[in-house]
Amino acid sequence: VIMQTLHSSWIQENEPVKLFEALIVVHLLVLSIMLRTVNGELNASTITVGIYDQMRWVVGLLILFTGLGGYLTTKGKLSTISGIFFVLLTLPFMENLPYGGFTLCFIISILLFVGRAFVLYRREQIRQKVEITGYSVKEALDSQHSGILFAESDGSILLVNRQMLFLMEEFTGSQQRNAEKFWGALQEGSSPGLRCDDHFPGDFCLMNTVKEGTWQLVRKKVAWRGKDICQIIATDVTEEEAANRKLQEYHRQLEEKKEQLQIVLDNLEAIKKQEAFSKTYNYIHDVLGQKISILQQIFHRELIPDREMLLPLVETLAEEIAAVREEDPAEMYQQIVSSFAPLGVNLNKTGNLPENEAIARVMVNIIREGVTNAVRHGQAQNIDIVIKEGEGYTLSIVNDGRLSAENIIQGGGLREINRKITELGGLLQIKTRPEFQLIVEIPRPRGAI
């Protein structure tokens, strides 16, 4: 009975065969009950003959007719014929066999039933593993991570896998029996995670689960055997949705940067004008400061200025102010030396300008400001300019002019020089004792050898 029941439970197709095998289970149960009753009567020394004969005949005839039907639908499988034959061996008419033949037939038939059930059970297992059957299709669908549902046009569900049943409970609170009602429940927005697509508002939506997963549900019509079938597929798009959210965040940040950049671009013209004005102002300040220092030196020494002495100053002043340009640092350095030489100011140079043009230009501007201030405010006669190069660049300007009794206050020229030095990561020091000394330290640019 156990083996036959196990075998019957594995039959997934062919209803006549399933009924045939189920009737064999009933037949075996009747035989089991009959044997138990006979054993009990033997112990009580009373035997009731023929009490189960009618039941055995009814079940046997049913097995015979269903077996023939199953034989015809299965194209003559021997398993059906063997089942009918084994049942016939246990029917009442076999009890008339001479010499106790029924007992032997009965025992053999029971053993044959066990063997037949085991063989057919194993064969059905193998068949369902290797053949595409309705059961194997259902198992394959249930093993999918995606939710799958097929329904009639009126919403009657034809096939649904376990994942879709789980999602039904997750999104609507219960397992739905109608696909249209299920989709309607989704569209009602009962879940806070619902988001429908603008292009396909009726056939597409995204749902968020309580486990922070995101599922994309798509509904569409498919043709099958001449009629339309509703198909609903639920796909796990948690990773894709997380990526989309990151992209949206990046897009938002880019929009913010774009707005900031637009503001900068709008102000770029004003910034350029301000930079040009600052550059021109500093240049004119340095040139005028240098010329004024030369004039002060002339008058301080009580020299009598003549046309030949003043004309070059005026002509070069007009030219230099009219042409604000980036000169070569070496030419600028030499021009500073030659400008003060006729006045008896000795500029003693030690070392060369750095090869880095930006640093060299800053040093020349510092030299011009330092020399101009030394001559203008201190009436210096000797100025030592020392440039050293090691791990960085060091510029030292020492003069023998008058020492100030008060602290040095940085004017516009020194403030601009200090700003440029700071931009290069350098340091400006001013010492007034024992003699006036201006020291500048500038590190090498990154990557420079």
DSSP 445: P
Are 363 and 385 within 8 A, CB to CB?
A: no
Distances (CA, A) of 217 to 222, 224, 359, 372: 16, 21, 66, 81
Please give the pLDDT value at position 294.
Answer: 64
For CATH 3.30.450, list the domain ranges present in the chain: 139-236
pLDDT at 447 over 70: no
Please give the pLDDT value at position 189.
Answer: 57
For CATH 3.30.565.10, list the domain ranges present in the chain: 281-443
What is the C-alpha radius of gyration for the chain, rounded to an integer number of angstroms? 54
pLDDT at 416 over 70: yes
DSSP 191: S
Distance separating alpha carbons of residues 215 and 148, to the nearest angstrom: 12
Question: Average pLDDT of the chain?
Answer: 77
Please give the pLDDT value at position 335.
Answer: 79
pLDDT at 3 over 60: yes
Tell me which amino acid residue 175 is: Q
| pTM of the shown model | 0.36
Please give the pLDDT value at position 214.
Answer: 83
pLDDT at 15 over 50: yes
pLDDT at 63 over 70: yes
Residue by residue, DSSP assigns 68-106 as: HHHHHHTTS-HHHHHHHHHHHTTSGGGGG-GGGHHHHHH
Q: What is the residue whose two structure tokens read 């025992």?
A: 107
Please give the pLDDT value at position 198.
Answer: 42
Distance separating alpha carbons of residues 394 and 162, to the nearest angstrom: 80
SS3 389: strand
SS3 184: helix
For residues 274 and 424, the model is more confident at 424
The CATH-assigned architecture of domain 139-236 is 2-Layer Sandwich (3.30)
Q: Which CATH number fits domain 281-443: 3.30.565.10, 3.30.465.10, 3.40.50.300, 3.40.50.150?
A: 3.30.565.10
Tell me which amino acid residue 73 is: T
Are 179 and 153 within 8 A, CB to CB?
A: no
Q: What is the percent of the chain where pLDDT is above 90? A: 2
Please give the pLDDT value at position 49.
Answer: 55
Identify the weakest region by mean pLDDT among 50-64, 283-297, 320-334, 364-378.
Answer: 283-297
